[in-house]
Amino acid sequence: MSKMLGKYTGLFGAGGLIYVVMELMWRGRSHWSMFLLGGVCFITLGLINKVIPWETPLWQQAVLGSGIITLLEFVTGMIVNRHFGWQVWDYSHMPGNILGQICPQFTLLWIPISIVGIVLDDYLRWRFFGEEKPHYKLI
């Protein structure tokens, strides 16, 4: 049990840190809640090929990951932006946005980011936690 807790704490921390760094590079700022969201997104991306077969093409895993990230972003946005009023982000100026919390443009951006996240999570799980060596089907 403590081994599993250590693994998921490490993966959560890695995902949170990576997301905050991405935000700092993209927007020049971040918020502590984005560390939490990044950690949850990274763990969720890593669980994709634990739920669906490795033989599922990587691009399909990434599209699924993008949808999951968009859903998590919407839920988080409704809490941190709409409920608490922290204004961590606002997509209301983007075409097709929903309540200013998600938009199609960022959903598309999450696809290549999901590919990187899935592969990185699988590598970390293999290298540091003795899980199955990553292998992917591209098409």
Q: What is the pLDDT of residues 31-77, one digit of tens each?
A: 999 999 999 999 999 999 889 999 999 999 999 999 999 999 999 99
Contacts of 123 (CB under 8 A, 6+ apart): 134
Residue 99 has a pLDDT of: 98
Distances 11 to 55, 57, 106 between C-alpha atoms, Å:
23, 23, 23
Q: What is the pLDDT of residues 112-121, one digit of tens each?
A: 999 999 999 9
Q: Is the confidence at residue 27, as pLDDT, over 80?
A: yes
Residue 139 has a pLDDT of: 84
Tokens of 124: 């970390």
Radius of gyration of the chain (CA): 15
Q: Is the confidence at residue 1, as pLDDT, over 90?
A: no
Q: What is the pLDDT of residues 98-107, one digit of tens each?
A: 999 999 999 9
Give the CA angle between residues 11, 12, 13 to the nearest 5°.
90
| Coil, helix or strand at residue 69 | helix
Tokens of 25: 């590079």
Residue 12 has a pLDDT of: 98
pTM: 0.94
| Coil, helix or strand at residue 72 | helix
